Amino acid sequence: MARPVVGIIGNHHMVNDEYPAQAVGRSNLEAVGRVTGALPLMIPAMPEIVDIADLLDAVDGVLLTGGRPNVHPSLYGHEPTEAHGTFDLDRDNLVLPLIRACVERGTPLLGICRGFQEVNVAFGGTLHPEIRDLPGRMNHRMPPDGTLEEKFALRHKVHLTPGGRFARVFGAEEVLVNTLHGQGIEEPGARVIIEGHAPDGTPEAIHIEGARGFAMAVQWHPEWNADQDPVSRPLFEAFGRALSGHPVEKAV
């Protein structure tokens, strides 16, 4: 039997600072291939050549990856500032309508970091430009120094809604995760249900209420060491079950 196919959203990348390319981090490919059992397929974030209907006919699920550029604030009614960092409007223009199409069609959808923020914006939510500037919040950004293992090290707990979808996935109401993001949810969008928070109150896990299929997203990076990490693996396994057509209640 053919393996299910997961479309993984790519990011704009410059090779040697001069040649434009699209790229997907290896850990995203490995998480899909090793844990879900699906065939990973990179989708270029280029709306002029990617038709959403054709894409959803070709894949069984969609993974929204992290990325350095942020969602453009004009897409959630804010003015851009220096704190918002850099942008990738091509990705915004492809992914935001893609998220809504996945939810409407019931195509399994898993968002990671930027993907988590995109899911919120797609349903009318807003974002803080810089979490660490808010009173009482910790610095969630990637440590500037150290090896990749040190940068992706587990750094804080996430407290989950008792009996919620994420608690059922992990078999626990508290998990330990990494953290490598600057922005975060300010106001949740319509149908966006927050089920996990960092100790400082930052939203960390969401799902879409009433979605026909798996529609979940996390602010951390579960793709890192996904086949070994006790939190990452069950999340990708649940996503994998959804790819095989299991109802969302059984998938989680």
Reported as half-sphere exposure (CB side, CA atoms, 13 A), residue 195 has a value of 27
Q: How far apart are CA 31 and CA 224, in angstroms?
A: 8
Tell me the HSE value of 179 on the side-chain side, using a 13 A CA sphere: 23
Q: Are 72 and 87 in contact (CB under 8 A)?
A: yes
The three-state (H, E, C) secondary structure of the chain, written as one string: CCCCEEEEECEEEEECCCEEEEECCHHHHHHHHHHHCCEEEEECCCCCCCCHHHHHHHCCEEEECCCCCECCHHHHCCCCCHHHCCECHHHHHHHHHHHHHHHHHCCCEEEECHHHHHHHHHCCCCEECCHHHCCCCCCCCCCCCCCHHHHCCCCEEEEECCCCHHHHHHCCCEEEECCCCCCEECCCCCCEEEEEECCCCCEEEEEECCCCCCEEEECCCCCCCCCCCCCHHHHHHHHHHHHCCCCHHHHC
Q: Which residues are catalytic?
A: 113, 221, 223
